A = this chain, B = another copy of it.
Amino acid sequence: VDKVKKFPGLARRATWTVGKEDPRKVVHSLKVGIALTLVSLLYLLEPLFKGIGKNAMWAVMTVVVVMEFTAGATLCKGLNRGLGTLLAGSLAFLIEYVADAPGRIFRAVFIGVAVFMLGAMTTYVRFIPYIKKNYDYGVLIFLLTFNLITVSSYRVDSVWDIARDRIATIAIGCGLCLVMSLLVFPNWSGEDLHNNTISNLEGLASSIEVCVMEYFNDLATPATQDESSEDPIYEGYKAVLDSKASNETLALQASWEPRYSRFCHKIPWHQYARVGAALRHFCYTVVALHGCLQSEIQTPKSICALYKDSCIRVGEEVSKVLRELAKSIRNNHQFSPETLSNNLKEALQDLDNALKSKPQLVLGSRNGRTPNTPVQVVPHQDQKLEEETRTSFSSVKNDSFSSRACKSKEHSRETPKKVLRPQLSKTAIISLEFSEALPFAAFTSLLVEMVAKLDLVMDEVEELGQMAHFREFKDEEIVV
């Protein structure tokens, strides 16, 4: 009952959100309404109805089915439908011509066999990946039209006339759809793809920035294992992770759109898809970096603080490069790979130097700051490290838990029956606190790894710039 009461509110909010987020959707809805009304006039207006007659239905049907949100999708569907109809029509006439000669029974059998063969064959063809990707709808329409014409040819004599009228009305419907989606407030798949790529780049940039900042500032926050929707890091890269399907669809639709870049070159939409793929691969490293934030063992703050500035600088440089790439795509100008690389390189060098200048700390022996002091016996030193870690832990975890952790460290073999598993496994990880440097090393290593993968993204964007003939950044430097 409660759910029923809430339903109107929920529905209203959901409806409102859609329009607020993307007003183009409202415009598109109105466009469909107008197109349908226009096509209905074929039926409602006396003079038009006289010319076309009942087949006007097919125009209505075509408009309902073909009209899509973006121009590319409509073109793709419309052309597929047109082509499928034409092909099916020709084949159906061929078959009718063959079946025309002998008696009625033979004709029925012949039609039945043809329907079976074509039905099985086209269904099979639709499974072939290439066809499925590009012409799925066309093949479906081919089968539909072929069946309708062949089967009805058995009862009707004037198939020619029917077919001609039907094709004419379908053409009218397709034409109306194309006009509405290409000329009246058009939505371009290519534009969506372009904007998605830019916002993905920027989302990743802010993800990395926040991630690095949080690592050094909030080490004490408890590990949150589920991604709450408010987590800005997750928000930033979430869209990238799920971008595969939408990117590929948009690239495919955009390739049908008659849009050109400067100098009448075709815009290389598939290259956008490749940039997306490189970005996705880059993103996996960001996810791993985010994982460092959430992991249950952490290097003590005192150690991290020493490298804070260098790490943050690398993170910032990476973000800056991503933003620069986004800007480059947005403004259609090429970027200067040298400048970006140099900055990155300097930041890396900086981190390098920082780690080199205080290596004892990375190596975990905090008492080695005066280099000539003999290092203490190793077990003892280790013990010390452990103790410190335990302190840093018990500040976070509740008491019962940290006492569990201590117990398991003293190798008290207790039988693990009736113990909840999550706790068990946490214990296992915490008892690994042998080297506090490990998580920090992983963090740093992932940062470096990220720079390496960023290179691939830069390559793809650079290639995109060349293929799309972006304005050159500096004429004398970029020519390759």
A-side residues, CB < 8 A to B, are: 14-15, 18-19, 25-26, 28-30, 32-37, 40-41, 43-45, 49, 54, 56-57, 60-61, 64-65, 108, 111-112, 115-121, 123-125, 127-130, 140, 143-144, 147-148, 151-152, 154-155, 225, 242, 244-245, 281, 284-285, 287-288, 291-292, 295-297, 337-338, 341-342, 344-345, 348-349, 351-352, 355-356, 359-360, 362-365, 368, 371-379, 382, 416-417, 419, 421-422, 424-425, 427-429, 431-432, 434-435, 437-439, 441-442, 444-446, 448-449, 451-453, 455-456, 458-459, 477
Contacts and interface: CB of A to CB of B under 8 A. Distances in A.
Contact of A155 (B29, B49, B287): B49
B344 A112 contact: no
A447 to B, nearest CB: 10
Nearest to A372: B377
7 contacts: A14-B128, A14-B130, A29-B120, A29-B123, A33-B123, A341-B428, A368-B378
Given A124-B29, A147-B60, A112 B225 contact: no
Contacts of A118: 33
A434 B111 contact: no
A466 to B, nearest CB: 13
A475 B402 CA distance: 31
Nearest to A345: B428
Contacts of A43: 151-152, 154-155
Contacts of A127: 18, 25, 29
Total copies of this chain within the assembly = 2
Residue among A129, A284, A373 with max Cβ neighbours from chain B (10 Å): A284
B116 A34 contact: yes
Given A14-B129, A155-B43, A377 B371 contact: yes
Contacts of A61: 144, 148
B371 A421 contact: no
B15 A128 contact: yes
A123 B65 CA distance: 11
Contacts of A439: 445
A30 B57 CA distance: 32
A425 B40 contact: no
Contacts of A434: 352, 355-356, 359
A117 B375 contact: no
Contacts of A435: 355, 359, 362-363, 441
B417 A338 contact: yes
A419 B295 CA distance: 40
A140 B33 contact: no
Contacts of A428: 341, 344-345, 348-349, 451
Residue among A130, A287, A451, A459 with max Cβ neighbours from chain B (10 Å): A287
A456 B432 CA distance: 19
A119 B416 contact: no
Contact of A112 (B40, B120, B147, B375): B40
A449 B355 contact: no
B37 A116 contact: yes
A41 B349 contact: no
Contacts of A244: 242, 245
Contacts of A374: 372-375
